[in-house]
Amino acid sequence: MNGFEIRRENKMKDILNAALQLFSMRGIKNVSIAQIAKSANVSQVSIYNFFQSKENLARQAFYKMMDDIMSDGEDLIECNLSFKEKVNKMHFISSEASDKFSKIFNQIEFINDPLIKKFLDEYGENKTIPLFMKLIKQGKLEGDLDSDISSESILIYIHAINKALQSNLSIKIKSDLGKLFFYGLFGSGN
């Protein structure tokens, strides 16, 4: 990248980071483009040039947050911890992410936005499921997961949980579904 492209990229990152910070403190509806511009030390025109609208900026912030969380998950899966240790850490990452998303993005009808739905479907298929399949493979190798359960069955289960988590359920129910996903009916003490 040349100097112009690097500055442009850095300016977009500054805007996204400022937006996420302000959205998490005040909610999307209560933050103006002017406030984001001031926090990012850019002009409002720059924000509109890069993102076209506040709604699109919020979508891009959502995508960035997803990528940041996925990066943490990928780092975890690639580390040298046991399956059980990874599951515990993955549950923590998942719970933390769910809380963060609820605070920021439940204020707008993101889940019903066709662009968000498409993004989540593609993200699940291309990133989330392969990540979980690596974890499941490790669990089977270490004897913590039943090796007789087919990968297809596991994918159906992951898909069902993923769809449920994308719906308008309460935070408590989403948390419970996360526990069921990571620990099953017998809980984390098993």
Q: Average pLDDT for consecutive 10-residue bins of the chain (190 residues)? A: 85 94 86 95 94 92 90 94 90 78 65 81 87 89 87 80 71 78 67
The dihedral through the CA atoms of 185, 117, 104, 167 has a sign that is negative
Predicted confidence at residue 16, as pLDDT, reads 95
DSSP string over 106-154: TTTTTTT-HHHHHHHHHHIIIIIHHHHHHHHHHHHHTTSS-TTS-HHHH
pLDDT tens figures, 80-108: 999 989 988 887 887 787 777 777 776 55
Predicted confidence at residue 187, as pLDDT, reads 67
Integer Cα distance of 79 and 93 in angstroms? 15
Predicted confidence at residue 46, as pLDDT, reads 93
User: What tokens were used for 18?
Assistant: 């400022």
Predicted confidence at residue 106, as pLDDT, reads 63
CB-CB contact of 87 with 135 (8 Å): yes
User: What tokens were used for 55?
Assistant: 């709604």
User: What tokens were used for 142?
Assistant: 């270490």
pTM tops 0.85, yes or no: no
Predicted confidence at residue 62, as pLDDT, reads 87
Integer Cα distance of 81 and 64 in angstroms? 27
Integer Cα distance of 21 and 165 in angstroms? 24
Q: Assign residue 52 a region (left: φ > 0; alpha: ψ between -120 and 50; beta: otherwise).
A: left
Vertex 8 angle, CA 59 and 47, to 5°: 45
Predicted confidence at residue 42, as pLDDT, reads 94
Integer Cα distance of 182 and 88 in angstroms? 8
CB-CB contact of 15 with 57 (8 Å): yes
pLDDT tens figures, 105-132: 765 566 678 888 888 889 888 998 889 8
Predicted confidence at residue 88, as pLDDT, reads 84
Predicted confidence at residue 43, as pLDDT, reads 94
Integer Cα distance of 168 and 52 in angstroms? 28
